[in-house]
Amino acid sequence: MTRDTFIELCDVLEPLVAPDVSCPREAVPTRKRVAIALYKLATCSEYRVIGETFGVSKTTVHRCVYGVCQAICSKLMKRKISLPDVDEALEIAQRNYESHTVKYPRSTVQSMGLTYLRAPSDGYRDYRKVWISIVLQAVVDDQLTIRDICVGSPGCAHDAAVFATSHLFRYPAKHPQAIKDIEGVRVPLLLAGDPAYPLLPWVMKGFSGPNLTATQETFNEHLSAIRVKVEHAFGHLKARWRVLSKQSDIDYNFMPVVVAACCVLHNICEKKKQQLPPAALHPAVPHAQQP
C-alpha cells in the first residue's frame, strides 16, 4: 500500500478510530492506530513485537487492530465489496469473452471459489481441516476484485454447505439479471464455480466423471481458464495480508471481521494497481536436485 493510499484510508476511518479527547494520557494518533493495524495484518507479528516496534503496549496494539478492522468493515464494506449491476456485469462477461482465444463460454460473468484461512490454535475442534481454519467464499471478477464474500464457516465444512449458508445462495434475486443471445440460445449471466458447487441456472460448473468426451474436456478447460481468476485473487489477498496465511493470535470469534477487512483492503489495492510485496512477485525457486 502506497503512502497516498494509506493517508486516504486514514482520512476515511478517522471519524471512527480517532482518539478520545477526554483521555487523560497522550492518545495514539489516528495514523499510528491505522499503521499498527495494517502492520499486524501484513505481517501477522505477535502483539508484543508490534508493541515494541511502535513504542506502545500490547493492549494498545490489540485495541488498534480490533478498532481499525471494525471501522473498515463498518465504513467501507458496502462501498468496496458489492455485486455488479447489469451493465457492469455485461461488461465483465464481454471482457471474459474477448480475453480467450476460444470464445466459450461467453456468458460467464464472474468466478467463485473458497480458500481456507488459518485460525487461532485455541479454536474449536470443528474448525480443523488440515489445520485449525475458517473458510472464505468469494466471488471474483476478471480484474481480481472481490465482489461478494461469505466468511466464518469452520474449516471442516464442505464447499456446498458453505455455499448453501451464504447470502449469494439464499438471495439469488440480487444477482445481475440479464439474458444474452448466443447463436440463437438465450443464456443468462453465470457464475463459474468448481465441481463442488451445485449446478444452478446461474451457476456453471465443469463436467465430472472418469469418461469425459473431448468436447466436455474442452469445456472444462476453458471454464477453468475463467475460474482460475479466483485463485489469483486469493493469492494476491494472502500475499498482501499475511495474517490470513499464518496461525494468528487473534480470537477466532473476531477472525471473520479481520478477513472481511483484508478483503476490503485487497480491493482498494487492486483498484489502485498497488504492487504486491517483493516475495510474492519473485517467489523462491527450489534448487534442482543433484544427480
Specify the pLDDT at position 157.
81
Tell me the percentage of the chain whose pLDDT exceeds 70: 84
DSSP string, 209-229: SSS--HHHHHHHHHHHHHHHH
pLDDT of residue 106: 47
The answer to whether the CB of 134 falls within 8 A of the CB of 155 is yes
For the chain, list residues with pLDDT below 70.
21-24, 100-110, 114-131, 279-291
Domain segments of the chain: what residues?
A: 3-77, 81-253
Digit-coded pLDDT (tens) for 265-284: 999 999 999 988 876 554 54
What's the confidence (pLDDT) of residue 272?
Answer: 93
Nearest to 109, CA basis, from 142, 133, 64, 66 = 142
Bond into 105 cis (ω within 30): yes
- Mention every residue, 6+ apart, whose C-beta is less than 8 A from residue 97: 103, 106
Give residue 195's pLDDT. 82
